[in-house]
Amino acid sequence: MVTIPRVVIAAPASGHGKTSVATGLLAAFRARGLVVSGHKVGPDYIDPGYHALAAGRPGRNLDPWLVGEEAIAPLFVHGATTPVPADIAIIEGVMGLFDGATGRRHVASTAHVAGLLRAPVVLVVDASGMGRSVAALVHGFSTFDPSVRIGGVILNRVGSARHEQILGDALAEAGVAVLGALRRQDSLATPSRHLGLIPAAERAADARRTVAALGTAVGGSVDLEGVASVARSAGPIPAGDPLLGALERPSEDIAAPVRVAVAGGAAFTFGYTEHTELLAGAGAEVVRFDPLRDERLPDGVDGLVIGGGFPETHAADLSANAPMRADVADLARSHRPIAAECAGLLYLAATLGGSPMCGVLAADAAMTDRLTLGYREAAAPYDSVLAAAGTRVHGHEFHRTATRPASGARPAWRWHDGRDAIVDGFVQGNVHASYLHLHWAGSPGIAERFLAACRAARHAGA
């Protein structure tokens, strides 16, 4: 058992300001000399990018649907102690406090994760247009599930000192501590587009300024010691799990490690931190590259991982980098394993919005008017570099694009959406490409299987 001060930042619904408050808390505590660790409930890739800027270390995701309940505590402990133990961990919730996977009650909700982590909750409430009713709202959330402990409230978008007093008096009657009140500050808003907030990696200096401003605003308006006190009230949490060993780097005696290139840069910002850690733990040398800026893959690459992101926003620049596109196509022809998710699928296609891409797959991709979003329980219909035929996985989709065709002769995954059987993606030689996002910590063996395929391909090409 380990004791890590931790608090969950939740809200009655989306749009109340969880991300701003969580990011601001991370920045404010760090500015005061504390080591902080940021975590996000759910599959979202974008919020952890802002957490990482504020904390100075990778943001982490905690999603019971993707990784299983039993992995949540060890993943949290790993993240909160890597590279060094944090003085406080801030865990941002998803949607409303009790909103979980559709049709599965509380599963993957913020309340579910708070329970698995034995963590208290601070509720962020958008108080604009609200007076004494705030007490009724908070009372309902405090009593709905007795297993969820709400340690206080942070009021957001408060209009004036008088408004703050009205809200505070009402909550005092309800016996709920007010830990802070943030005034309306439109200048702190983070710009959005078709899939939500613009990732921090695409905004660079602007994102850093936003995070610093959030830290200043939260530091000046929130009782940080009060929040820390709530976080310290969290009890011990179990730490032992085989997963933690898999996330550790291999010993120095591993000869000739497999060299795996992982796409990054502004166009490929979606990826769970644990993926590269699991690859390294299985014996890979992980090297980063940017398909927008680099003209060639890193030397001596045995395999390639291209995660999610926004290639549709950068299609012209990706297309203009013809040397990189040709290098990726050559790697595929050499039968080196390639694992591509969502954005990676689009990059491997023949075209994206009419712009030439790598041409590894005989498919054309384009934007649509439809948002495809949700959890999926899928099965692998064929053997691939990621999974043996019949393997079942939990994943999620998050895109406004489509490919024609939607799948190849050998689809990557198959699932049922409640009405129709869905096939998705492509298994083509040693290429695995689909829209489905996985968290490899929830699918034991993926990293090892991928590296085994890399070693086999290296040996065959030697």
Return d(Cα 462, Cα 450) in angstroms, integer: 18
Q: Where are the alpha helices (DSSP H) in 144-195?
A: 161-173
**Rounded Cα–Cα distance for residues 112 and 31 (Å):** 31
**Long-range CB contacts (< 8 A, 24+ apart) of 417-421?**
none
What are 339's strand-pairing partners? 305, 432
Distance CA 441, CA 366 (A): 31
CA dist., res. 299 & res. 287, Å (int): 10
**DSSP codes joined into one string, 234-299:** ---B----HHHHHTSPPPTT--S-EEEEEE-STT--B--HHHHHHHHHTTEEEEEE-TTT-SSPPT
Distances (CA, A) of 279 to 246, 424, 435: 9, 25, 21
CA-wise closest residue to 437 among 332, 340, 310? 340
342 in catalytic set: yes
18-31 helix and 224-232 helix, angle to the nearest 10 degrees:
100
| Burial profile 413-451: b = 16 or more Cβ within 10 angstroms, e = fewer | bbbeeeeeebbbbbbbbbbbbbbbbbbbbbbebbbebbb
Catalytic residue among 176, 342, 387, 457: 342
In 3D space, the residue among 307, 310, 312 whose CA is nearest the CA of residue 271 turns out to be 307
Q: How far apart are CA 339 and CA 347, in angstroms?
A: 12
Q: Which of 373, 337, 358 is nearest to 458 (CA)?
A: 337
Helix (H) or strand (E) holding 404: strand 392-404
What are the two backbone dihedrals, phi and then psi, of residue 383, each rounded to the nearest 5 degrees?
-65, 145
The C-alpha torsion from 119 through 59 and 302 to 433, rounded to 10°, is: 80
Burial classification of residue 184, based on how many CB atoms lie within 10 Å of its CB (0-12 exposed, 13-18 middle, 19 or more buried): middle
Which of 124, 128, 119, 129 is CA-nearest to residue 89? 119
Q: Which residues pair with 413 in a beta bridge?
A: 424
**Edge-to-edge order in the sheet of strand 431-434:** 284-289, 258-263, 303-306, 338-341, 431-434, 426-428
Dihedral sign, Cα of residue 77, residue 79, residue 85, residue 89? negative
**Active-site residue set:** 342
